[in-house]
Amino acid sequence: MAHADDATKAWVSAIPTKDSNGKVMVWKLKYKYTLAVSGKADYVHTFNHTIKIDTPSKAPASYTKAELLSYKKYSTDSHTLSQHMDDMFNKKYAEHIASQPTITTDTSFDVSTLNDS
């Protein structure tokens, strides 16, 4: 199940670093996912990503939200930022809702029952 498909996604911030011509060189992005968990508080995870623009060509207001999500963190990445965050959210959410093993301490264990070597 793709939990990210059911999550509410929201921009927290998009902070540009500009060159002397006002063109964006770097974006610092924060993007939040929220998904209800049965019987628990909502699961919330905020992703922080930095996107380097190799050839600055646009002012901050010339970008769209969809464009920012379509960037790849590294040029060698096969997934867009949006796909990467969805994948990571799915993994983190699955861990969050997974049943945790019961951990017990056996204070009555007799060490003398172990072999010497």
Cα dihedral 63/66/72/77 (nearest 10): -160
Q: Is residue 103 part of a domain?
A: no
Structurally, how many domains does the chain consist of? 1
Sign, CA dihedral 81-70-64-42, equals negative
Q: Is residue 105 part of a domain?
A: no
Q: Is residue 98 part of a domain?
A: no
User: Which residue, among 47, 50, 49, has the nearest Cα to 33 in the 3D structure?
Assistant: 47
The pLDDT assigned to 55 comes to 94
In the structure, what pLDDT confidence band is assigned to residue 87 with cuts at 50, 70 and 90? very high
Average pLDDT over residues 64-89: 89
Cα(60)–Cα(70) distance, integer angstroms: 16
Domain that holds residue 37: 1-71
User: Which residue, among 103, 99, 85, has the nearest Cα to 40 in the 3D structure?
Assistant: 99
For 11-53, the pLDDT digits (tens) are 999 999 999 999 999 999 999 999 988 888 899 999 999 999 9
Q: Is residue 113 part of a domain?
A: no
The pLDDT assigned to 109 comes to 93
The pLDDT assigned to 104 comes to 92
Among the residue ranges 2-11, 30-39, 66-75, 101-110, the one predicted with the least confidence is 66-75
Single pTM value for the model: 0.76
Q: Is residue 88 part of a domain?
A: no
The pLDDT assigned to 72 comes to 86
For 55-74, the pLDDT digits (tens) are 999 999 999 999 999 998 77
